[in-house]
Amino acid sequence: MSLTLLAQPGITQQVADTVTTGEAVAFWVLGPLALAGALGMLFARNAVHSALWLVLTMLSLGVLYMVQQAPFLGFVQIIVYTGAIMMLFLFVLMLVGRDSSDSVVEVLRGQRFAATVLGIGFAGLVVGALGRALTDVTPVGLVTPNTTNGGNVANIGQLLFTDYLFPFELTSALLITAAIGAMVLAFASRAKQTRKTQRELVEERFRGERPGSLPGPGVFATANSVATPALLPDGSVARESLSEIVEPTAKERLDDDVAEVSGTGHRPDARALKGES
């Protein structure tokens, strides 16, 4: 319903400086949701769940912005924060993957206790201060800037390009710097290895030590999954069929598996015929 509320600024016009029932309802629904999202983020073991909880909080906050007569900011919040920033977080989480779950054990002695006490203390102080300082505040409301002169978006744009022009330009420099910095950090290692040319790939394939194409996963295997390695005619695992991307540790684990299956760990497989161990 908040959307409808927003869509009709005419309603808020008459009751600008007070909070309407609709807004109160929206607040009492979204506020606890935001808090729940924050708490969920705090307590979720899995980092992806944390991120999702945070998305909930951010969406709630975005809607709260709209309710608070800042429709543009509300949607920017959704687009930028949930659409871009949190998506980036999810991206990185999925790339990092393996480490996304926190261990339950706290290694720093007293950290949790101290953090809880300090957090409660901080919240108490701020809430107390706000409660004392802002009891008698009468909000002016944004009806005037939101209705005159092109509305909320136009007025924000005007502020950005007049009063805040210099900071605005600075943010552009900041963004460019950040983009370049991120590229430098992210591409640092990749720039070293050069891509193989078509010719090299061809020569590798036809003149390498294994004529023909590499074995695909699942060949001669019991399952048709990418995680299942190909087997050589004698039943041993074909090392080349394991993907680095799919399962980072598979190759490391393979040696153990081979040893386990063979019993000795040193039983020669088919490759021994070629002089490899």
Query: Which positions from 170 through 199 interact with another protein, judged by CB under 8 A?
Result: 171, 174-175, 177-179, 181-182, 185-186, 188-189, 198-199
Tell whether residue 58 is a contact of another protein (CB under 8 A).
yes
**C-beta of 122 vs 220, nearer to another protein:** 122
Residues 253-272, mask of contacts with another protein (x by CB under 8 A): --------------------
Tell whether residue 246 is a contact of another protein (CB under 8 A).
yes
103-142 residues near another protein, rule: CB under 8 A: 103, 106-108, 111-112, 114-116, 118-123, 125-135, 137, 139-142
By CB atoms closer than 10 A (0-12, 13-18, 19+), residue 54 is buried
Q: Identify which range of 88-96, 231-239, 256-264, 265-273 contacts another protein by CB under 8 A.
A: 88-96
Binding-site size, another protein (CB under 8 A): 133
Applying CB under 8 A, among 14, 99, 194, 244 the residue interacting with another protein is 99
**C-beta of 49 vs 271, nearer to another protein:** 49
Tell whether residue 9 is a contact of another protein (CB under 8 A).
yes
**C-beta of 151 vs 251, nearer to another protein:** 151
**C-beta of 65 vs 215, nearer to another protein:** 65
Tell whether residue 96 is a contact of another protein (CB under 8 A).
yes
194-233 residues near another protein, rule: CB under 8 A: 198-199, 202-203, 226-227
Q: 3-state SS of the chain?
A: CHHHHHHCHHHHHHCCCCCCHHHHHHHHHHHHHHHHHHHHHHHCCEHHHHHHHHHHHHHHHHHHHHHCCCHHHHHHHHHHHHHHHHHHHHHHHHHHHHHCECCCCCCCCCHHHHHHHHHHHHHHHHHHHHHHHCCCCCCCCCHHHHHCCCHHHHHHHHHHHCCCHHHHHHHHHHHHHHHHHHHHHHHCCCCCCCCCCHHHHHHHHHHCCCCCCCCCCCCCCCCCCCCCCCECCCCCECHHHCCCCCCCCHHHHHHHHHHHHHCCCCCCCHHHHHCCC
Closest by Cα among 266, 270, 268, 149 to 220: 270
Applying CB under 8 A, among 29, 219, 239, 247 the residue interacting with another protein is 247
15-54 residues near another protein, rule: CB under 8 A: 19, 24, 27, 31, 34-35, 38-39, 41-42, 46-52, 54
CB of 41 to another protein, least distance (A): 6
C-beta neighbour count of 62 within 10 angstroms:
23
Tell whether residue 55 is a contact of another protein (CB under 8 A).
yes
